[in-house]
Amino acid sequence: MFTCYTKQDRFETYVLTNEDHKINIEVVPERGGIISKYIHNNEPIFYLEQETLEDTSKNIRGGNPILFPISSYLVNETYYYNDIAYQLKQHGFARNLEAKVIHTFADEHCASITLEMVDNEETYERYPFHFKLIMKYSLTKSGLSIQATINNNDNKVMPFYLGYHPYFYVEDKESIEINIPSSNYKEMVPNSVVQDKFNFNQPESTVIYEQLQSNHCEMIDHARQLKVTITSEDVYQYMVLWALQGKSFVCIEPWMAPENGMNVGQGIQYLEASQTHTSTIQITAESLI
C-alpha cells in the first residue's frame, strides 16, 4: 500500500511512500515543486545539500530541479522575441517559483502528487507569456514517473524548452559506469572526457550529448550494486553530464535543447495559443544483487 502525507520541516513537505517506507520521494512545493529526495529500497537515489534547500537565497543543489522555460543557458543571459531583448538566467525560473498542490492520490499500486505553477509579474518581464506548468510525480515499486504539462494561456505562440537536473547520489565515482547512447558530444568544460570516459578528476566537468540513438541512459553503481535508468521521450534530444570534484553526485540531465537554444533555434518547442504540451521522463532503480 502506498500513502501520501505531509510533514513540516523548514517548508511543508509531501512524502509519497510505500507501506514499509523502503521507497519514497519528498516534494517541496514552495521550492520550485522540487522532488528533493528519492529513496529506493532504502538506498538514496538523489543527492541533496539540505542547507541549499532551506536557504531561499540559494539555488538547490540536489534533488531534481525543473528547468523551464529554458533548460540550458543563454549567451549573456539574453534572448530576443519580436526583436525585443529579454534576460533569463541559466535553467530558467521554474526552480524558484512556488507551486500549488492541486491533487494527491495513493492506493495499493502507486502514489502521485500534482502541482501547478503559473506566471506572475516578475516572470512576465523576463518571459512575456502567460503559462501554466503542471507537474505530476507518480511513484511505484518500479520507479518514478515525472510528467510535465505546459499550457499556453496567452494569445501568441510561446517558445520553450524543458529539462531536468537530477542529482544522482554516488558514493564512489570510480566505481560507476555511465552509458549514454551517443558518440556525438561537446565538452562544455575542457577535458571533460578523457580516454572516452567522463572525467571526475578535475574541479568541474560538463558534457552535452546529442543525436541520441535511444531514449535510455544508464548509471551503474558497482559499489552499491545498483542500476539507475533514465528513460525520456524523443523530444528530449540532449543529455548532459555534470559533476564537481569532491561532491558525491553526478547529474544526468535530459534537455530538449542545447546551450543557447533560444538563440541558435535548436530544440525549441513552439506552443500555439491555448494549446498544451505534455512530456514524461522516468527514473527507475534496481538492485544488481
pLDDT at 19: 84
pLDDT at 16: 98
> Each residue of 146-175: pLDDT tens digit?
999 999 999 999 999 999 999 999 999 999
Judged against a pLDDT cut of 90, whether residue 122 lies above it is answered with yes
Tell me the average pLDDT across 205-217.
Answer: 96
Number of domains in the chain: 1
Judged against a pLDDT cut of 90, whether residue 105 lies above it is answered with yes
Q: What is the CATH number of the domain that holds 32?
A: 2.70.98.10
CA 198, CA 243: separation in Å to the nearest integer?
9
> What mean pLDDT is reported for the chain?
96
CA 168, CA 141: separation in Å to the nearest integer?
19
Q: Is the pTM of this model over 0.85?
A: yes
With a pLDDT cut of 70, the percent of the chain lying above it is: 100
* Helical H segments across 30-187, by residue range: 50-54, 121-126
pLDDT at 178: 97
Tell me the average pLDDT across 134-141.
Answer: 97
Residue 23 phi, psi dihedral angles, 5° rounding: -125, 125
pLDDT grade for 90, boundaries at 50, 70 and 90: very high
The domain of 8 spans: 2-287
pLDDT at 153: 98
CA 169, CA 285: separation in Å to the nearest integer?
12
CA 41, CA 91: separation in Å to the nearest integer?
31
Three-state SS at 219: strand
pLDDT at 142: 87
Residue recorded with cell 535510455: 216
pLDDT at 278: 98
Residue 160 phi, psi dihedral angles, 5° rounding: -160, 165
User: Dmax over Cα atoms in the chain, in whole Å?
Assistant: 57
Secondary structure of 93-120 in the HEC alphabet? Answer: CHHHCCCEEEEEEECCCCEEEEEEEECC
